[in-house]
Chains A and B, each alone.
Chain A
Amino acid sequence: MEAAVAATERRAPTFLRAARAAAATTPLALLLVSPSLDAGVLAEDRTDALYHSYDGGGVQVTGPSLLVRKGDNKQFSGALNYYVDNISSASVDVVTQGSPYSEKRSEWSGSVDYLHADTTMTAGYTRSDESDYQANTFSFSISQSMFGELTTVTLGYSRGFDDISSNVDAAVDESADHQNYHVSLSQVLSKNLLLSLNYDAVTDEGFLRNPYRRVYVLDDPNDPNGLANFNTPERYPSTRTSNALSANFLYYLPYRASLKLGYRYYADDWDISAHTVDLRYTHPLGSRWLFDVGARYYQQTRADFYADLFQRPDQQNFMARDKELSEFKDYSLGFGVTYNLLKKPYGFIDKATLNFNYDRIWFKYDDFSDVSGGGPAAQAPLYEFDADVMRFYGSIWY
């Protein structure tokens, strides 16, 4: 049992795997190199120092993020970002399949924008490192402003190359490739209303599962009310293709405040489909304070090879018990406060702010059971948990 315990102590849970996927397959990586809505204007020179904290479901993640952006005020702007996740996990998967563990993931990103007339081209690179997973992502995007700068179209592409190993099994030497095609349209609809349409197609190929996670299988396939075990590794398809489309509106209210409404539809060939709705209200107070309140709702269907409980170890070709592939919903409420430190520029600093954001998220799973209490699998309650997410950061513009 010693090996099994060690394995789960160092297992990279969904959080890490998905974190790497996020870094590698764009959403995150591509966003980092995306130019602003205005293709004809370089992004502002600024530096942000952020501390983030996540606490939920037995998982704590904290760490810094530092972004420095500087341009020549003419044609070029460069950005560097350093990001760290310090993870301490006793998640429901870890508790049921092993022992709590701690790990660190660090990520470097760099990008360069080149502005020519109404066109901005951006090239970027991201590297993510942890003990059993390395990801390299290259990205490129081009934005064109048109119709008197009322419309901006952006096309983007990124490609990621991941190397996956195991901290307990030297035989695991796998790889995964990711490609992301991105199209977005930003549109001024009226003097008070903006629209942003976004589309991403993502394809993955290679080793897409977590090498440590196992499925839950009945000890006796003829006794559905009996005990079950975690002796069978997950088996995933080697490809995945997804499409996501979102529409976001931002409206300037009759008084000085704004309202954002967003909707996203997602579908992939693992049979997961998802809907996301989010709302944000921003309200300034005087010249120094800015308040945000927001709400978000998300729901998804399960992957066709996911099951909370399998009858037999060879029940089907592909088998998964990753709760992110199950049917579930989550919703969140949050607020943010921004304080402007300077009434007027000070030295080379044009503007400086201190910011705090808090979100609370509720996750409720429809077919993922909490089996940490032991006993017959069929009697385990459905899993649910809450998470507190905080961001504290300072920003300066120069």
Chain B
Amino acid sequence: MKFSGQLLAILGAVSLSACSGVEPWVKPYERAHLADPIMSFSRNPVADDFASHVYQVREGARGAEGGHGGGCGCN
């Protein structure tokens, strides 16, 4: 679990640095492409969860399927 501890420490540091007010480097008006539905890691959660399930039950690995969500906070 040493690995996970290090990862949590890094994420914690990133979270704390959020308080310092970083300027967004991609402006809201530059996010048209990111707002396109084709820029979603998972456009259809039910279908994608089933696809993950098919592999999970036949492979030894599990977790970090990841890549869900998408978009850019443009709404």
Contacts and interface: CB of A to CB of B under 8 A. Distances in A.
**B is a partner of A:** yes
A228 interface: no
Given A48-B47, A393-B46, A34 B63 contact: no
Interface in A371-398: 389, 391, 393, 395
Interface stretch (A129-137, A143-151, A307-315): A143-151
Contact of B47 (A185, A194, A357): A357
B74 to A, nearest CB: 8
Interface in A4-62: 14-15, 18-19, 21-22, 25-28, 31-32, 34-38, 40-41, 48, 50, 52, 54
A194 B51 CA distance: 22
Contact of B57 (A18, A38, A151, A361): A18
Interface stretch (A168-176, A212-220, A240-248, A341-349): A240-248
Per DSSP, chain A at the interface is: strand
Contacts of B36: 252, 256, 258
A190 B32 CA distance: 12
Contacts of A112: none
Given A243-B3, A393-B46, A26 B63 contact: yes
Interface stretch (A93-101, A159-167, A196-204, A229-237): A196-204
Given A41-B75, A150-B24, A14 B57 contact: yes
Given A150-B25, A183-B8, A330-B59, A200 B46 contact: no
Interface string B10-50: 01001100100011111010111110101101011111011
A257 interface: yes
Nearest to A249: B67
Given A191-B26, A258-B38, A266 B64 contact: yes
Contacts of A38: 69, 71-73, 75
Contacts of B46: 48, 50, 65, 67, 81, 393
Contacts of B60: 266, 268, 270, 272, 274, 300, 303, 324-325
Contact of A147 (B22, B28, B30, B47): B22
Contacts of B8: 183
Given A22-B53, A252-B39, A50 B71 contact: no
Measured as residues with beta carbon below 8 angstroms from the partner, the interface class of chain A is 35 or more
A361 B58 CA distance: 11
B49 A324 contact: no
Contact of A27 (B22, B31, B34, B56): B56
Interface in A315-374: 324-325, 330, 338, 355, 357, 359, 361, 363
A65 B50 contact: yes
A153 interface: yes
Nearest to B55: A298
Contacts of A284: 38
Given A191-B30, A298-B55, A146 B41 contact: no
Contacts of B11: 153, 183, 185
Given A28-B53, A48-B47, A252 B34 contact: yes
A181 interface: yes
Interface of A: 14-15, 18-19, 21-22, 25-28, 31-32, 34-38, 40-41, 48, 50, 52, 54, 65, 67, 81, 83, 144-153, 180-186, 188, 190-192, 194, 196-202, 241-246, 248, 250, 252, 256-258, 260, 262, 264, 266, 268, 270, 272, 274, 276, 282, 284, 290, 296, 298, 300, 303, 324-325, 330, 338, 355, 357, 359, 361, 363, 389, 391, 393, 395
29 contacts: A19-B56, A21-B56, A28-B56, A31-B52, A36-B70, A37-B70, A81-B46, A148-B28, A148-B73, A149-B72, A150-B24, A150-B73, A151-B14, A192-B34, A194-B41, A198-B65, A245-B7, A246-B65, A246-B66, A252-B38, A266-B61, A274-B59, A330-B58, A338-B43, A355-B44, A357-B51, A359-B54, A393-B44, A393-B46
